[in-house]
Amino acid sequence: MEVKRIAVLGAGLMGHGICQVAAQTGGYEVYLRDVEQRFLDNGMNMIKTSLQKFQAKGALTEQQVNEILGRIHPTLDMKEAVQNADLIIEAAPEIPDLKRQVFKEVDQHAPPHAITASNTSSISITELASVTSRPEKVCGMHFFNPPQLMKLVEVVRGAKSTDETINTVLEVSHKMGKETVLVKKDCPGFIVNRILIPALNEAVALYWEGVADRDDIDKAIKLGLNWPMGPLMLLDYIGADTTLAIADVLTREIDPKFHPTIGLKQMVSAKLLGRKTGKGFYDWTQK
Ligand SMILES: NC(=O)c1ccc[n+]([C@@H]2O[C@H](COP(=O)([O-])OP(=O)(O)OC[C@H]3O[C@@H](n4cnc5c(N)ncnc54)[C@H](O)[C@@H]3O)[C@@H](O)[C@H]2O)c1
């Protein structure tokens, strides 16, 4: 199926970036929907700032920036966002009830041929698909943060996703300049988070047990495994709350061995979430 128009639901951290990549690299017409004007404005401002950086580096001309912005249509109205969309990419908060509600609403207003893909990090695609009248047209499309720079998209097959749905989303991802991997079974954490979250959890445990200092834990993994940044710094970027939420899902749905460490839970209780609260393992207030 040929995709011409995309709707991105959620103009937050991920949604604004996905919208930008779709309009910039993919050349798609994109409707960007959020629930309050201030969230839409914030998302659009982040897109403009990012495009200006591309322009400053000489990667885009002023005309190209204006053309990209001309392809993006911010709206608060779900019906307006999805009624002419061929593909809807859902990037609403990681709250199962909220996402189920969003999927029901999309199902009411989207044209019959439209595919809905969720950017969820941990919620079951099959479960989201089950609240719609077209589970065969639902799959996962998991971008990485920031979507403008990170190359990978995990495309996730739900229990009923058809080959056409998967192939369309793979094709759109490639048109958006991304590399893809296919997750053949809908399983929590997909590939990357199933491997990453236990690693982050263990890094917190080492720190918490006093086995090594923060900088040595990060240095060991950077130099020993060639990661671009250490696990405790990465955790600050992702957010301790998000990491805990994913660890909880992996524990509940796959195996108790994924249980979050006490250190991770306490970071969240203390609101030491990382960059978003200014402090986590590192102090971000000066950066
Ligand atoms: N943060 C990450 O590093 C990351 C990486 C990959 C995937 N994800 C996933 O992406 C999704 C979004 O995460 P985020 O970090 O961008 O969250 P966020 O909180 O920054 O953004 C979510 C946005 O969705 C909006 N929203 C709420 N209800 C809505 C609705 N009914 N319709 C449209 N928009 C609505 C919110 O107002 C908010 O602006 C989650 O499922 C998350 O698991 C996050």
| Tens digits of residue pLDDT in 196-234 | 999 999 999 999 999 999 999 999 999 999 999 999 999
Q: Which of 129, 157, 183 is the last residue of a domain?
A: 183
Mean pLDDT of the chain: 96
Q: Which of 134, 160, 183 is the last residue of a domain?
A: 183
Mean pLDDT of 104-114: 98
User: Is residue 233 one of the residues assigned to a domain?
Assistant: yes
Instruction: Write out the catalytic residue numbers.
Output: 121, 142, 154, 193
User: Is residue 164 one of the residues assigned to a domain?
Assistant: yes
**How far is the C-alpha of 235 from the C-alpha of 88, rounded, in Å?**
29
CA of 171 to the centre of ligand 1 (A): 23
What range does the domain containing 49 cover? Answer: 5-183
- Tokens representing residue 261 in the block: 């460490």
Both 216 and 88 in one domain: the answer is no
| CB contact at 8 A, 260 and 248 | yes
| CB contact at 8 A, 181 and 154 | yes
User: Is residue 282 one of the residues assigned to a domain?
Assistant: no
**In this model, does residue 258 exceed pLDDT 80?**
yes
Both 151 and 202 in one domain: the answer is no
| Binding site membership of 118 for ligand 1 (Cβ less than 6 Å) | no
User: Is residue 268 one of the residues assigned to a domain?
Assistant: yes
Both 209 and 229 in one domain: the answer is yes
User: Is residue 283 one of the residues assigned to a domain?
Assistant: no
User: How confident is the model at residue 10, as a pLDDT?
Assistant: 98
Both 171 and 255 in one domain: the answer is no
CA dihedral 135, 245, 236, 7 (to 10 degrees): 20
Q: Which of 159, 183, 207 is the last residue of a domain?
A: 183
Both 155 and 219 in one domain: the answer is no
Phi and psi for 6 in degrees, rounded to 5? -120, 145
CA dihedral 127, 131, 135, 138 (to 10 degrees): -70
Both 66 and 139 in one domain: the answer is yes
Residue 287 pLDDT grade (very low, low, confident, very high; cuts 50, 70, 90): low
User: Is residue 100 one of the residues assigned to a domain?
Assistant: yes
User: Is residue 285 one of the residues assigned to a domain?
Assistant: no
Least Cα distance to 24 among 194, 134, 146, 183 occurs for 146
Pick from 45, 121, 250 the residue to mutate for probing ligand 1's pocket: most ligand atoms within 8 Å of its CB.
Answer: 121
User: On the CB side of 23, how many CA atoms lie within 13 Å of its CA?
Assistant: 27
User: How confident is the model at residue 94, as a pLDDT?
Assistant: 86
User: Is residue 287 one of the residues assigned to a domain?
Assistant: no
**How far is the C-alpha of 106 from the C-alpha of 116, rounded, in Å?**
8
| Binding site membership of 93 for ligand 1 (Cβ less than 6 Å) | yes
Beta strand ranges found along 115-253 (DSSP E)? 115-118, 138-143, 152-157, 179-183
| Binding site membership of 120 for ligand 1 (Cβ less than 6 Å) | yes
Both 89 and 163 in one domain: the answer is yes
| CATH number of the domain enclosing 44 | 3.40.50.720
Share of residues in the chain with pLDDT > 90 (%): 94
Both 218 and 172 in one domain: the answer is no
* Total of domains in the chain: 2
| CATH number of the domain enclosing 246 | 1.10.1040.10
Residue having the nearest C-alpha atom to atom 41 of ligand 1: 120
Both 160 and 102 in one domain: the answer is yes
Both 161 and 52 in one domain: the answer is yes
Least Cα distance to 153 among 161, 165, 145, 162 occurs for 145
Both 172 and 197 in one domain: the answer is no
Both 142 and 215 in one domain: the answer is no
